[in-house]
Chain A
Amino acid sequence: MKLRNTACIVFLVFLSVLFLAPIFIVLMNSFKGQFYITDAPFVLPSKETFAGITNYLNGIKKTDFIGAFFRSLFITVVSVFAILLFSSMAAWYMARKDDKLSKIIYYSFIISMTVPFQMVMFTMSKTANTLGLETPIGITVLYLGFGAGLSVFMFSGFIKSIPKQLEEAAAIDGCGPIKTFFSVIFPILRPTAITVSILNAMWIWNDYLLPYLVIGNEYKTIPIAVQYLQGGYGSRDMGALMAMLVLAIIPIVIFYLISQKYIIKGVIAGAVKG
């Protein structure tokens, strides 16, 4: 038994190395001169091929990576806050009111979750254009709309398990619905709020097509900046691409290591309910 356990652990360590290898390969290549990458991507940089941080400087300049980083951060943070606030408010109202209109809205939200983005991408970008939403602020409105399904669904599930007596007690004490929601309900929603934030943040941070179609011409986010380096096939700067891949991964890894516990819990909750 002991031998088998050791064998298992050796196997798991081997697999971990295999899982981390792709990231290591990209990291290693990001320090090589751009013409040495395609020829021998699995070789460590040598004295001759080592390029220092040239690739990073080139890539940052070519893609305006710093701008893209802060744009991605801004869009993600604002959208997640908007989704958190408005989807929890709507979920509470609709769960408690429970009339025909609420049900219609609720099920429309749910159905929207199964519809692929390609179905609405053309008409949505035209609508956004007409309404002047093609700015980093405007796009958060679109994310609020697309995020409504999953978020309202998750909040609703939790709200239905909260006893109404709690709210009724607050009402007797003279709280109106707004005060009741923010002082009694919202604090209880915390675990679901964390899950909803993480699921939406992961989606919006990595999203490519929606921002590309709506604001891509003027404002690049990180995924758009990476794709932008592709250019015409063959003419692209491989070194800059490797460096930008590394810079795109770093914030995700940091975020993951800090909030790993919540991310894993959130993903399980999201998967089982979605």
Chain B
Amino acid sequence: MYKRFSRYFPIFVLPILAAFIISFAVPFVMGIYLSFCDFTTVSDARFIGLENYKEAFGESFTHSLWYTALFSLASVITVNLAAFFLARLLTRGFKGTNFFRTVFFMPNLIGGIVLGYIWQIIINGILRYYGVDITFYEAYGFLGLLVLTNWQLIGYMMIIYVAGLQNIPGELREAAAIDGATASMELKHITLPLVMPSITVCTFLTLTNTFKLFDQNLALTAGAPNRRSAMLALDIYNTFYGGVGSEGVGQAKAVIFTLILGAIALLQLYLTKRRERDV
């Protein structure tokens, strides 16, 4: 029956393909080309070679690159440690586990803009006792975003770890206990190796989520002070829309940003495939 299938291509595939071409494929290809051009609207583009890329690596971009990398690293560590710890607590068979799970996961559903303002009022409320607010130092914005991200992502990662932990057969732990394994030995030799797939998934989810962070950054500090707390996505946005004339540089930054995220995705693919082969 699949031989005469091609006749149905326009019905089955064309609608979503057309939408994909309009919203993604054409803008993507145009974006690559425009990163080598000087332009303010698309129609006035003039090819200038690598100029935009040279200009892209200015102060603000290199700073935001480091800021983002450091922030992602800090988030990956704090979010995953907390999430794993909570997941262990919630898989011990307490009463009310469902309630706790519901509470911890809820912040994940709230949108980035709303999250940003919720934490802005709280953090400014605390900093007020010291006579400052979040816009004073870039470190405040960093820590504020870190707390916000933890609040948002811990529940999400916890759910994935819970699923991973529940997949471990109970007999394995019992056998280890009978053999006289201590709690830390059990964790090191049984639990951790078996939840490794979840650890990979959560690490990369946190990494890509924090690397792409935009809404939270915009709402919490909008880059204050003086764009020092702007992460990559916000820096690119500012370059595009902060003033006329640097659209080409913004597009070049966006291409570099895409390459970084592509590299992260490839690394994840490689690590996941390698483990599948090993097992």
User: Contact residues of A with B, CB < 8 Å?
Assistant: 5, 8-9, 11-12, 15-16, 19-20, 22-23, 25-26, 29, 37-42, 86-87, 89-90, 92-94, 96-97, 102, 105, 108-109, 112, 114-124, 126-128, 131, 133, 141-146, 148, 152, 167-168, 171, 177-178, 180-181, 202, 205-209, 222-223, 226-227, 230, 238, 241-242, 245, 248-249, 252-253, 255-256, 260, 263-264, 267-268, 271-272, 274
Contact = CB atoms under 8 A, between A and B. Distances in A.
B159 A119 contact: no
A263 B212 contact: no
Interface string B79-123: 000000010011010101001111111111111111001110110
Contacts, number: 268
B151 interface: yes
Contact of B110 (A11, A38, A249): A249
A167 B5 CA distance: 13
A52 to B, nearest CB: 20
A208 B106 contact: no
Interface centre among B11, B103, B211 (most CB of A within 10 A): B103
Contacts of A227: 113, 218-219
B1 interface: yes
Nearest to A97: B5
Contact of A124 (B9, B17, B27, B208): B27
B27 A120 contact: yes
Nearest to B111: A206
Given A118-B236, A208-B215, A249 B261 contact: no
B94 A122 contact: no
A23 B118 contact: yes
B126 to A, nearest CB: 8
B19 A96 contact: no
Contacts of B104: 15-16, 19
A126 B114 contact: no
Given A16-B104, A115-B28, A123-B34, A96 B42 contact: no
A145 B109 CA distance: 23
A126 to B, nearest CB: 5
B24 A124 contact: yes
